[in-house]
């Protein structure tokens, strides 16, 4: 399953069921560009355990404010609509896989 991009309007529907990793990012953000291929790789390997979605912080300020996102990339892990974990900044694949595995 491919990583999908969400908006303020679609965000709540996307996180309400199951385990969802949200990448809060922006096109101009260097670390965001570095983490994108890591997320693609994880998505291809554990697609049955977690869905990965991306939210552009420049275009979706309502959701950014709601979750107090101050730095990017911010990765929030949601389980059935509730935040269960969060990391900020570039993370290696192993760290993200471990983060997800704690909540599967």
- Helix (H) / strand (E) containing 100: helix 93-101
Active site (catalytic) residues: 29, 32
In a 13 Å sphere around the CA of 94, the CA atoms on its Cβ side amount to 0
> Backbone phi, then psi, for 96, in 5-degree steps?
-70, -40
The predicted model scores a pTM of 0.96
Average pLDDT, the chain: 96
Which tens digits make up the pLDDT trace of 9-44? 999 999 999 999 999 999 999 999 999 999 999 999
Q: Which stretches does DSSP call E strand in the chain?
A: 4-6, 19-25, 51-56, 74-79, 82-88
Which tens digits make up the pLDDT trace of 65-92? 999 999 999 999 999 999 999 999 999 9
Structural domains of the chain, ranges and CATH numbers in brackets = 4-97 (3.40.30.10)
């Amino acid at each position: 399953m491919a990583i999908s991009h969400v908006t303020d309007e679609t965000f709540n529907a996307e996180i309400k069921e199951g385990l969802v990793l949200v990448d809060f990012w922006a096109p101009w953000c260097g670390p965001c560009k570095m983490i994108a291929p890591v997320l693609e790789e994880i998505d291809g390997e554990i697609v049955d355990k977690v869905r990965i979605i991306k939210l552009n912080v420049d275009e979706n300020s309502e959701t950014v404010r709601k979750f107090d996102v101050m730095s990017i990339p911010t990765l929030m892990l949601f389980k059935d609509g509730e935040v269960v974990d969060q990391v900020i900044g570039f993370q290696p694949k192993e760290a993200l896989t471990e983060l997800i595995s704690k909540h599967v």
